Amino acid sequence: MEAFQVSQLTKELVAVRLKKIEDPCAAAVEVVAQTVRVALRGAQADPAERARVIHDACYGGLTALLLAAQDLPRSAALL
C-alpha cells in the first residue's frame, strides 16, 4: 500500500477551499490544522513521525497558497 501523502492531500484540500473563501490564508490554516489532527490520529507516538506529518501538512498548504498567488508571509505566520 502506498504511503499516505499528507502534503499532496493538504495541497488539494487547500486549493479547493481557496476558490470559495473570502480569507484564503485563514482558510488554509484551518485545513492544515484539520489535516494534521486527522493524520496524527493514526500516527505512532514517534516524535519524528509526528514532526514529518506536521511538516508535510504545512508544506502542502503553503504550496497551494503559492500556486494560488496568495500572501505566503501572512499564511506562514498564521500557521
Q: What are the tens digits of pLDDT across the range 29-79?
A: 988 999 899 888 866 678 888 888 899 999 988 998 898 888 899 989 998
Pick from 34, 14, 37, 32: which is nearest to 78 by CA?
A: 32
Residue 1 has pLDDT above 70, yes or no: no
Q: What is the spatial distance between Cα 18 and Cα 5, in angstroms, rounded to a whole number?
A: 20
The pTM of the whole model exceeds 0.85: no
Choice between 7 and 18, residue whose per-residue pLDDT is larger? 7
- In the prediction, which pLDDT does 16 show? 82
